[in-house]
Amino acid sequence: MEFEIWLLLGIPLFFSLGWIAARVDIRQLLAESRGLPNGYFRGLNYLLNDQHDKAIDAFIDIVKLDPEAVELHFALGNLFRRRGETERAIRVHQNLLSRPDLPLEQQTQAMFELGQDYLKAGLLDRAEETFNQLVAGPYAIQARRSLLEIYQREKEWARAIDAAHALQESGAGGRQKEIAQFYCELAQDELVHTNSAAALAMLDKALATDRHNVRAAILLGDVQVSSGDVESALLSWRRVEQQSVPHVALVAQRLMDGYRTLERPQEGLNLLKGYLAEAPSIDLLEVVFKATLELDSVDAANQLVSAELKRTPTLLGLDKLLDARLMVAAPEVMPELSMVKNLVHGYAQKLARYQCSHCGFKARQFYWQCPGCSRWETYPPRRTEELSVMN
């Protein structure tokens, strides 16, 4: 009972002490804020309102009055870089590094910011040299990320692999997907130079790093075809179904061509029809449609496209259906049907795009690395209209 009374008496006391401490902190904060120039608050206000030009002008005025304001130099340099004025950003950070009285922590920060300036300006050699000086300090992970970006820009894939491994070892998360893609880039280079053995070695490493890498399976088939081993190539391309069924559309034409080479085209068509039943795709339908026309009949091709359009109603599918209808249309309706076909085709072509799931960049062709944001494997293997219908 005695303890409870003391506890009840103590609660107001603790509350009072907290109130006094808060008052002291507020007074100290107000006293410190009075010491700041008005331009500082103007600059902050401009920043909050995304008025970067006015913020820069305000901060420049303060720096002229107080050249020792290190944090303002950092803010000013970053604003210059964000605005694309990399030369001015570089000068700001170089001036900071030239100060002999700058503490080590801020020297390191200034060096990192300078590296970012060089990277933004496209001065990759200078950026690489700067970031290499930071891989053993507090900015090690950020520096290694920037080095990885540099090597990708320069297409130095072997160095990119080393940088990605170093990032993994530093605890920055797994990079298996990117490493496998770098091996694929090396394999593709070897394939261009008809060095099949070296290409196969790179693809083995890619699949050992990421066994779900679709690109490696596709390239493996390409290498095998170039060596005359079509049967093995077909097995490699069929492996894509086990990795990702939607990506089968990317190898459909390769599969059909391979089965034709082996004089088993009907087997190839039956295989692709099975894939189409499992994963509807305009690109896959295109290949199956042409093969059906060649191996079966116009009526069979008509029925195929009509059934797919009912299952997945898209303008791209309608465009293909009109292609089929024109092949069997009576002469008297041909002009009108052709006019409708041309109109639909024009709109359909605008929708025949692949779209990056990260940045939204659209492209006519499929990319493994987005040209917009440089991310890997962000393009779904389906056209934008198909994705909107499926969602």
CA 73 from centroid of its chain's CA atoms:
32
Pair 111, 133: CB distance under 8 Å: yes
Q: pLDDT 10s digit of each residue in the chain, 391 long?
A: 444 444 444 444 444 444 444 443 434 433 434 444 544 445 445 444 555 555 555 555 544 444 456 777 787 788 889 888 899 889 888 888 888 888 899 899 999 999 999 999 999 999 999 999 999 989 999 999 999 999 999 999 999 999 999 999 988 888 999 999 999 999 999 999 999 999 999 999 999 999 999 999 999 999 999 999 999 999 999 999 999 999 999 999 999 999 999 999 999 999 999 999 998 888 999 999 999 989 998 889 889 988 888 888 877 778 877 877 777 777 877 787 788 778 877 777 777 889 999 999 999 999 999 999 999 999 999 988 776 655 5
pLDDT of residue 40: 47
The residue type of 132 is N
State the sign of the Cα–Cα–Cα–Cα dihedral 135, 140, 146, 147: positive
**Quick one: tokens of 284?**
């896959």
- What distance in Å separates the CA atoms of residue 73 and residue 352, rounded to the nearest whole number? 48
Cα angle 20, 22, 27; round to 5: 95
pLDDT of residue 45: 53
The annotation status of 184 as a binding-site residue, yes or no, is: no
Strands (E), the chain: 354-355, 362-363
| Residues facing 354 on adjacent strands | 363
- Identical topology for domains 174-243 and 245-352: yes
pLDDT of residue 230: 97
Whole-model pTM: value is 0.79
Query: In a 10 Å sphere around its CB, with 0-12 CB exposed, 13-18 middle and 19+ buried, how is residue 180 labelled?
Result: buried
Residue spans of the domains in the chain: they are 68-173, 174-243, 245-352, 353-390
- What distance in Å separates the CA atoms of residue 185 and residue 170, rounded to the nearest whole number? 24
pLDDT of residue 54: 57
State the sign of the Cα–Cα–Cα–Cα dihedral 29, 30, 36, 41: positive
Domain covering 245-352, topology:
1.25.40
**Quick one: tokens of 94?**
């170089």
The class (CATH top level) of 68-173 is mainly alpha
pLDDT of residue 354: 92
The class (CATH top level) of 174-243 is mainly alpha
Pair 198, 208: CB distance under 8 Å: no
Cα angle 249, 251, 252; round to 5: 65
Closest Cα partner for 97 from 107, 87, 88, 89?
Answer: 107
Residue keyed to tokens 């006293």: 31
The residue type of 321 is L
pLDDT of residue 55: 54
pLDDT of residue 186: 98
**Helix axes 104-121 and 86-97, enclosed angle (nearest 10):** 160
pLDDT of residue 42: 52
What are the Cα distances from residue 238, in Å, to 78, 150, 225, 256? Answer: 50, 35, 14, 11
Query: In a 10 Å sphere around its CB, with 0-12 CB exposed, 13-18 middle and 19+ buried, how is residue 369 labelled?
Result: middle
pLDDT of residue 85: 87
CA dihedral 96, 97, 98, 99 (to 10 degrees): 60
The residue type of 330 is A
The annotation status of 373 as a binding-site residue, yes or no, is: yes
